[in-house]
Amino acid sequence: MAEPLIKLENVVKSYRLGGNDISVLKNLNLEIYPGSFVSIMGPSGSGKSTLMYLLGLLDTPTSGKILLEGKDVSKLSEDELAKIRGKKIGFVFQQFNLMMTLSAMENVMLPMVFQKVPEDQRKIKARELLNSLNLGPRSGHRPNELSGGEQQRIAIARAFANNPEIIIADEPTGNLDSKTGKMIMDILVDFHKKQNKTIIVVTHDPNIAAYSEKIINIKDGQIVLNNNYNRIV
């Protein structure tokens, strides 16, 4: 059996608030395997966003270990974590988080700039991704000239720009109507099937979670259900 791509061992995350320690995650143990499509579900305040930050190496645990490809990354510096994120993890956010002064093409090229990819290669890769999402004719437009669905497709193209092993999508359809949201989820499923990427979707919506192969339910900082699932597509 394959080794876990990401493994959490007895992970605790707490914050200092008003002189008190507030425990958000409590002794979490979790394994996510290469090529899986996982949804993390839970109500507001359950700890799912905190878990997403830890899985995306945007934060470190108070105690416990986070193993990425068998290596403990829980004690690395922010600079070291940023290098790993740049190469191995792509993010898709509810708010799109596009640079409003840049064109669609330039937004997709941006992660490759940080990885020092030569400009000609950046342009080729960005054009391929935009074309694959039917956005070629919109490549010169800025985000404020595009619909919400088009902006989220640009965000997906940007997330895949450096060919990461892991894509983390935080409420990727939260600002979209249901028809556009379905299109976005179909795109993520298509990328998963064709490229065998590991995709982690954080959502409160069971209709979105139904696209995944596995649903992890979290409540009060603990995993209450961790089941395989027959997705709807």
As a whole number of angstroms, the distance between CA 31 and CA 214 comes to 11
- Please, which residues have CB within 8 angstroms of residue 192's CB and are 6 or more apart in sequence? 35, 37, 199
**Residue 88 pLDDT > 60:** yes
pLDDT digits (tens, 9 = 90+) for 50-68: 999 999 999 999 999 999 9
**Model-level pTM?**
0.91
pLDDT digits (tens, 9 = 90+) for 148-174: 999 999 999 999 999 999 999 999 998
As a whole number of angstroms, the distance between CA 232 and CA 81 comes to 35
For residue 228, what pLDDT is reported?
65
The alpha carbon torsion through 190, 226, 221, 55 (nearest 10 deg) reads -40
CATH 4.10.520.10 fits 35-58+85-228, yes or no: no
As a whole number of angstroms, the distance between CA 184 and CA 178 comes to 10
| Contact predicate 24/15, CB 8 Å | yes
The token duo for 211 is 């696209």
| Contact predicate 188/38, CB 8 Å | no
**Residue 233 pLDDT > 50:** no
Domain map (residue ranges) of the chain: 35-58+85-228
pLDDT digits (tens, 9 = 90+) for 119-155: 999 999 999 999 999 999 999 999 999 999 999 999 9
Quick one: which of 119, 58, 59 has its CA closest to 90?
A: 58
